[in-house]
């Protein structure tokens, strides 16, 4: 009897010790390099602490413009992807279940296309278009989508790159909800199909929509290759170009970009939780 009572306790003790050890190793792996980087960025080599690298960086020319451009592109990518994906996935579940594998394959295709190959294709189209459409109204379209103030061509590239991640997040949420039963129940109470989707289905997909938005924003704010090759300067390209001035400044740029990305992601998460709490 004594063995029956001591074995579970010792097992839980080992399990808790194992979890604590894993958390300790993960903490050392992540926070020691961050702490060393922060110390390097504020150490003035004379034993004093100086935040000159951060103050100079924030007041640097182009900082706010690049940050605003990245935030605008992230918001536009989230809106465009959700507007495209959510109706398509709901329509497939409600009216055409056989199309679900087709949508899954289409949304997963960007995963097998390297970013450099995708960007090279976009560059080829942008170079080919003006030569053949120079005497047509389409020429102005090619000019407009490359406006440095808000490059639509970069938005299209981000939508393609974020498509698989947004689809997986939404698909996970839809698998956890019986959409057909919810809509039929709402319609039996007198609601139309559109009202049932907006008032019953979408509130149950709040976490999936939030997770999808977080993944898209994280991808857009951290993306560098496509924007750099196409010649635009969102925040990731700006921090790379400006951080080359000196070593301390480059570390300060990396720390600042990490903080901004975390603030944006936490703001999205808190916004979703606050709306959920208000409705409950």
φ and ψ of 15, to 5 deg: -65, -45
Burial of 148 (0-12, 13-18, 19+ CB in 10 A): exposed
pLDDT reported for residue 1: 46
The per-residue b/e assignment along 98-127, b for 16 or more CB within 10 angstroms, e otherwise, is eeeeebbeebeebeeeebeebbeebeeeee
**Between 217 and 136, residue with greater pLDDT:** 217
34-93 pLDDT, tens digit each: 888 888 888 877 777 888 777 777 777 888 888 889 889 999 999 999 999 999 999 888
Residue-wise pLDDT tens digits, 140-199: 787 888 888 899 999 999 999 999 999 998 998 888 888 888 888 888 888 888 888 888
Residue 49, classed as helix, strand or coil, is: strand
Cβ–Cβ under 8 Å, residues 232 and 170: no
Distance in angstroms (rounded) separating the CA atoms of residues 150 and 73: 8
Name the β-bridge partners of 49: 43
Cα–Cα distance, 103 to 69 (Å, whole number):
31
How far apart (Å, rounded) are the C-alpha atoms in residues 122 and 137?
A: 20
Q: How far apart are CA 170 and CA 181, in angstroms?
A: 18
pLDDT in tens, 16-32: 777 888 888 888 888 88
- Which stretches within the chain are classed as H helix? 2-42, 52-58, 63-94, 100-108, 115-133, 138-144, 152-175, 179-188, 193-196, 202-204, 206-222, 225-230, 235-242, 247-279
Count CB-CB contacts under 10 A for residue 160. 17
Between 99 and 253, where is the model more confident?
A: 99
Using pLDDT thresholds of 50, 70 and 90, give the confidence band for residue 97: confident
Which one has a higher pLDDT value, 12 or 85?
85
- Are 126 and 232 in contact, with CB atoms under 8 Å apart? no
pLDDT in tens, 190-234: 888 888 888 888 888 888 888 888 888 888 888 888 998 988 988
Residue 9 pLDDT exceeds 70: no
Domain boundaries, the chain: 84-148+159-236
In this prediction, residue 35 carries a pLDDT of 87
DSSP 161-223: HHHHHHHHHHHHHHHTS-HHHHHHHHHHTT--HHHHIIIIIHHHTHHHHHHHHHHHHHHHHH-
- pLDDT for residue 82: 92
Residue 6 has pLDDT above 70, yes or no: no
* Residue 189 and residue 46 in contact, taking contact as beta carbons nearer than 8 Å: no
With contact defined as beta carbons under 8 Å apart, do 213 and 82 qualify?
yes
Place of tokens 């980087």: 37
Identify the residue with better confidence: 242 or 24.
Answer: 24
pLDDT reported for residue 7: 56
pTM reported for the whole predicted model = 0.79
How high is the pLDDT of residue 12?
65
- Above 70 in pLDDT, residue 2? no
């Amino acid at each position: 009897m004594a063995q029956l009572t001591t074995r579970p306790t010792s097992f839980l003790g080992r399990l808790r010790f194992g979890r604590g050890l894993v958390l300790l190793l993960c903490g050392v792996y992540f926070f020691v390099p961050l702490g060393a980087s922060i110390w390097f960025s504020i150490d003035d080599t004379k034993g004093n602490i100086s935040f000159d690298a951060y103050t100079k960086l924030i007041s640097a020319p182009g900082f706010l413009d690049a940050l605003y451009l990245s935030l605008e592109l992230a918001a536009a990518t989230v809106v465009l992807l959700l507007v495209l994906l959510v109706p398509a996935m709901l329509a497939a579940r409600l009216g055409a279940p056989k199309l679900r594998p087709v949508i899954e394959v289409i949304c997963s295709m960007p995963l097998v296309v390297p970013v450099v190959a995708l960007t090279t294709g976009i560059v080829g189209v942008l170079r080919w278009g003006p030569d053949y459409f120079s005497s047509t109204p389409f020429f102005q379209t090619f000019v407009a989508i490359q406006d440095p103030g808000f490059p639509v061509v970069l938005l299209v590239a981000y939508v393609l790159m974020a498509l698989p991640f947004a689809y997986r997040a939404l698909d996970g949420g839809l698998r956890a909800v019986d959409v057909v039963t919810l809509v039929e129940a709402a319609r039996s109470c007198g609601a139309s199909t559109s009202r049932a989707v907006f008032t019953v289905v979408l509130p149950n997909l709040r976490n999936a929509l939030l997770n999808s938005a977080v993944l898209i924003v994280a991808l857009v704010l951290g993306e560098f290759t496509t924007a750099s090759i196409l010649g635009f300067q969102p925040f990731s390209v700006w921090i790379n170009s400006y951080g080359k001035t000196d070593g301390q400044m480059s570390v300060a740029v990396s720390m600042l970009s990490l903080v901004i990305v975390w603030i944006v992601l936490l703001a999205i998460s808190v916004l979703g939780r606050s709306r959920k709490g208000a409705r409950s």
